[in-house]
Amino acid sequence: MDHGATTPLLQGTVEVDETYVGGKMKGGKPGRGSENKTPVVALIERNGKARSKPVERVDAKSLKEEIRKHVDPSAKIMTDEWPSYQGIGNEFEGGHHVVNHGLGEYSRDDVHTNTAESYFALLKRGHYGVFHSFSKEHLHRYCHEFSFRWNHRESADDIKRVEALRQVEGKRLYYKKP
């Protein structure tokens, strides 16, 4: 999710959620994770920018580290009831607000993670409909592409092209590390 050293921190109301992509479900029941799927965390400003990246685990250490790294301390954090998020509100002026999906609660006033869910819908639609599969090795690149698409969804096509070229200007792109 490191989109450059000068990338500003996410501000205002920031929704944080995680999903699992790739692989096929083998047995078991639907729900959180699978040995064949890779977790992806997304941090989305309400009416603003998105950042996402694959993570090794969806434990408290990993998720809180990503939140601290990419969210301004003045922000308000919105998540679901996943226990790994507990206590993060103490580090942010806006606090931590939770919706309990397990009890059928998806929105309470302005407390929801619907923006993050919409981002994941875009990511997964691209997975199934455009790319057909995401390799674990390149998942961070797919996440970056879909963050770019989300962040420029209201821009004209020519603006998107200029911004995409600006981001790679002066950089050599390697498939394999030299």
Each residue's pLDDT expressed in tens, for the chain with a length of 178 residues: 554 456 899 999 999 999 998 776 666 555 566 677 889 999 999 989 999 999 999 999 999 999 999 999 999 999 999 999 999 999 999 999 999 999 999 999 999 999 999 999 988 887 766 666 677 887 888 888 889 888 888 777 777 777 777 777 777 767 776 5
The one-character DSSP state at 167 is H
Domains of the chain, residue spans: 13-168
**Single-letter residue type at 135:** S
**Three-state secondary structure call for residue 51:** strand
The one-character DSSP state at 52 is E
Q: Which residue has the tokens 């096929």?
A: 24
**pLDDT at position 1:** 54
**Three-state secondary structure call for residue 30:** coil
Residue 131 structure tokens: 């790319």
State the number of CA atoms in the 13 A half-sphere of 106 facing the CB.
6
Distances in Å between the alpha carbon of 108 and those of 32, 82, 98, 100, 101? 23, 17, 9, 10, 11
**pLDDT at position 41:** 96
Architecture of the domain made up of 13-168: 2-Layer Sandwich (3.30)
**Three-state secondary structure call for residue 8:** coil
Quote the CA–CA distance of 15 and 114 in Å, as a whole number.
8
Residue 51 structure tokens: 């950042």
Quote the CA–CA distance of 19 and 42 in Å, as a whole number.
8
**pLDDT at position 162:** 76
Q: What is the pTM of this model?
A: 0.82
Which residues sit opposite 17 in a β-bridge?
42
Radius of gyration of the chain (CA): 17
**pLDDT at position 25:** 64
How many Cβ atoms sit within 10 Å of the Cβ of residue 85?
22
**pLDDT at position 171:** 74
**pLDDT at position 177:** 64
